[in-house]
Amino acid sequence: MRSGQQSDVLKIFAYVAATLILGAVIAPWLYNFGKGMAEVFSGKESNAVIHWLADAARRADFTRFFNRAVLLAAVLLLFPLMAWLRLGRASGKYGDTPWSVRLPQQLVVSDFGQPLKRNFQGWLQFGTGFFLAAGLLLLSGWVMIQSGCFVWRDMPLSARGTPNKVVEAINWAAAVKKGLPAALATALIEETLFRGVLLGIFLRAMRPAYAIATLSFLFAFVHFLEPPVGVMISDPESASAGFQMLGQIFGRFADPVPMVSTFLVLSAVGVVLAYSRYRTASLWLPVGLHFGWVFGEKMFKAATWVVPGLPRGVHWFVGETLKEGLLPLSVVVITGILVHAMTREVEPVAEYRN
């Protein structure tokens, strides 16, 4: 790591740890507040917003409250983190950092990473990334359907003759209407944060390969921190409920199947996205790729059911979604190879001026 910059990386990891701890502390308080609101306003005439919040709180389980608590903690700690990262630094020239495109002059610090540059092929790379990622992902989904691992929701039998227990029509219009804006928002927010801000900081502290690998590990770690499906907390009102949930989450790291089938896929996704940002010195291509992967996964999920009762060995290759298993991992790797072939490396510079 470069002298004077490595502390920024450690601060980011400390921020993630502090967010999880604060989220675990807040979660039971948020749960009790939400359930109390639901009891008070349930069935009563009230403001539309309050009525919507009360109804949502009534239907939500502790897992949802925990997720919202972690998100709230992340927002609350973001501003101290921004101040912490600039502590003791002299302000630099506008444009000297890869994440200063929209920051005021006085908030910019000097930087030796790779700045984001104006990309005249931005829309082309965005569209190419979207169709490349979504197309290859959905193609792998079609292969999984033909192999009998998934079944169309409106089909009575899978490709291998397994009965579909819930046959229902596929509402493609509703799936697109719901999935398109959600996928685009996810891609924009996460790429701005991870590849726009954090990768720029990591590139100041270490060589590109190490920066990409470290950030991809952090990206996979953050996305892997989802409560297991069907997890139950004995007493969600207790002060320790959030830490019990953390224990359940970190218990997933001891299971080799999700570690291989999910964590490796997330890590590979992070590598491809970071590498595409580094190769183009812009966010157009990674946003397009991310948008395509999320949209494709959402569309496939809206149109299919996973076939139950598959042998455990199959879960190494195919999971319950298109982001789990060695087959989706191979798709991500192929996408990365194509990204390398279609881009040229933009050399990092010590100073960038508009």
Looking at the structure, do residues 83 and 138 belong to the same domain, yes or no? no
**Alpha-carbon distance values, 25 to 30, 66, 74, 150 (Å):** 9, 10, 13, 39
Amino acid 314: pLDDT = 80
Buried b (16+ CB within 10 A) or exposed e, 44-68: eeeeeeeeebbeebeebebbbbbbb
Looking at the structure, do residues 33 and 135 belong to the same domain, yes or no? no
Contact indicator for 149, 306 with CB cutoff of 8 Å: yes
What is the number of domains present in the chain?
2
Amino acid 54: pLDDT = 78
Cα(348)–Cα(114) distance, integer angstroms: 5
Amino acid 4: pLDDT = 52
Range of the domain at 330: 118-342
Contact indicator for 299, 138 with CB cutoff of 8 Å: yes
Looking at the structure, do residues 57 and 126 belong to the same domain, yes or no? no
101 lies in a domain?
no
108 lies in a domain?
no
Contacts by 222-230 with C-beta closer than 8 Å and gap 24+?
Answer: 222/16, 223/266, 224/252, 224/253, 224/258, 224/262, 224/263, 224/266, 225/20, 225/70, 225/249, 226/67, 227/63, 227/66, 227/67, 228/252
Task: For the chain of 354 residues, list the mean pLDDT of each consecutive stretch of 10.
Answer: 66 90 93 85 67 78 87 85 63 45 44 75 94 96 93 91 90 93 92 89 86 93 78 85 89 76 91 95 95 96 89 80 89 96 69 38
111 lies in a domain?
no
- Per-residue tokens: 152: 């169309």
For 226, the 3-state DSSP assignment is coil
Looking at the structure, do residues 5 and 78 belong to the same domain, yes or no? yes
Cα(137)–Cα(295) distance, integer angstroms: 10
178 lies in a domain?
yes
351 lies in a domain?
no
203 lies in a domain?
yes
Looking at the structure, do residues 84 and 127 belong to the same domain, yes or no? no
Q: Which residues are paired to 147 by β-bridges?
A: none
Looking at the structure, do residues 185 and 275 belong to the same domain, yes or no? yes
Amino acid 2: pLDDT = 55
**Alpha-carbon distance values, 138 to 152, 204, 244 (Å):** 13, 37, 37
**Alpha-carbon distance values, 72 to 53, 78, 106 (Å):** 16, 10, 27
Taking alpha carbons only, the member of 200, 196, 225 closest to residue 69 is: 225
DSSP letter (8 states) at residue 307: P
Looking at the structure, do residues 150 and 65 belong to the same domain, yes or no? no
Amino acid 89: pLDDT = 47
Q: According to the 3-state scheme, what is the secondary structure of 80-105? A: HHHHHHCCCCCECCCCCCCCCCCCCH
Contact indicator for 72, 26 with CB cutoff of 8 Å: yes
Looking at the structure, do residues 245 and 164 belong to the same domain, yes or no? yes
173 lies in a domain?
yes
83 lies in a domain?
yes
Looking at the structure, do residues 215 and 299 belong to the same domain, yes or no? yes
Query: How many other β-carbons are positioned within 10 Å of the β-carbon of residue 118?
Result: 9
Looking at the structure, do residues 84 and 141 belong to the same domain, yes or no? no
Query: How many other β-carbons are positioned within 10 Å of the β-carbon of residue 240?
Result: 13
Taking alpha carbons only, the member of 266, 292, 285 closest to residue 180 is: 292
Looking at the structure, do residues 160 and 243 belong to the same domain, yes or no? yes
